[in-house]
């Protein structure tokens, strides 16, 4: 307990950054992932190809390499200058969106083709059909894998520690500089992660229950 109480400010500060990384990357990956899934089911072959290429490349690249690119290599291109934090958000979002895309796409595949045909027959455009009919049903059917993807994102934020972002993964080094017991510190970090995942698990249960009625 001592390690935690003595360094409570440090823990709060680092975990606040973890949550910030998670929230911003989470929203960005969800939006980008859904957009990628739309590309992958588009009737336009070029869009489908672009979506597939993105997912194949990004999903098969280790997260650390995605970070390396955005934190070290990308600045040499001198397009836009990133803060470390921003670079971490970009890396996490680009990486996670590929997984979100595949989850959404598997959801789209569970929606019976008749739903899309009925939409088209009523005069809905492709985007209206996806937005109002297909995606809402697809997302309802993929709550558990989607939540797993976000739990993975939450834990993946710790990779940012290696790239100068002071989040939960950097607590160990910070404690060791202060001459604290890092092993106990790490156990606390693990415990707090368990606590943070709980609301996600709860959300999953609520959504599954709510949406099972509507189908």
The contact set with another protein (CB under 8 A) reads: 43, 112, 114-115, 117-125, 128, 132-133, 136-137, 140, 211, 213-215
199 with 22: CB under 8 angstroms? Answer: no
Q: With contact defined as beta carbons under 8 Å apart, do 168 and 193 qualify?
A: yes
The token duo for 61 is 């690249």
The nearer residue to another protein, 79 or 214, going by C-beta atoms, is 214
Q: How far is the CB of 41 from another protein (least distance, A)?
A: 15
Distances in Å between the Cα of 92 and the Cα atoms of 23, 63, 160, 208 are: 11, 8, 9, 26
Distance between CA 215 and CA 209 in Å, rounded?
11
Minimum distance, C-beta of residue 54 to another protein, in the bound complex (Å): 25
Cα gap 24→20, rounded to integer Å: 6
Rg (CA), the chain: 20
Using the minimum distance from each CB to another protein, give the nearer residue, 64 or 110: 110
Strand blocks (E) in 39-89? none
For residues 48 and 120, which CB has a smaller minimum distance to another protein in the complex?
120
Single out the residue of 159, 139, 149 nearest to residue 26, CA to CA. Answer: 149
CB of 201 to another protein, least distance (A): 24
Question: What is the C-alpha separation between 21 and 40, in angstroms, rounded?
Answer: 27
For the CB of residue 113, give the shortest distance to another protein in the complex, in Å. Answer: 9
The Cα diameter of the chain in Å comes to 69
DSSP at 72: I
Q: For residues 45 and 199, which CB has a smaller minimum distance to another protein in the complex?
A: 45
Smallest gap from residue 206 Cβ to another protein (A): 17
**Closer to another protein by Cβ: residue 81 or 215:** 215
User: Quick one: 25 or 119, whose CB is closer to another protein?
Assistant: 119
What are the Cα distances from residue 177, in Å, to 13, 89, 173, 181?
Answer: 16, 26, 6, 10
**In the structure encoding, which two tokens stand for residue 115, read together?**
């739903």
Minimum distance from residue 212 beta carbon to another protein (Å): 11
């Amino acid at each position: 307990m001592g390690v935690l109480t003595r360094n409570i400010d440090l823990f709060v500060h680092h975990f606040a950054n973890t949550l910030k990384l998670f929230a911003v990357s989470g929203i960005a990956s969800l939006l980008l992932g859904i957009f990628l899934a739309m590309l992958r089911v588009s009737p336009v072959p070029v869009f489908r190809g672009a979506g597939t290429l993105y997912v194949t490349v990004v999903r098969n690249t280790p997260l650390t390499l995605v970070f390396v690119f955005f934190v070290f290599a990308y600045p040499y291109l001198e397009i836009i200058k990133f803060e470390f934090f921003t670079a971490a958000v970009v890396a996490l979002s680009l990486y996670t969106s590929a997984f979100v895309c595949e989850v959404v796409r598997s959801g789209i595949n569970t929606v019976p083709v008749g739903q899309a045909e009925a939409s088209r027959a009523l005069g809905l455009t492709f985007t209206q059909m996806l937005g109002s009919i297909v995606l809402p049903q697809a997302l309802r059917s993929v709550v558990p894998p989607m939540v797993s993807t976000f739990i993975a994102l939450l834990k993946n934020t710790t990779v940012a520690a290696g790239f100068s972002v002071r989040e939960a993964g950097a607590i160990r080094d910070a404690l060791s500089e202060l001459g604290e017991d890092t092993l106990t510190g790490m156990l606390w970090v693990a415990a707090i992660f368990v606590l943070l995942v709980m609301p996600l698990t709860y959300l999953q249960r609520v959504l599954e229950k709510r949406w099972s009625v509507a189908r």
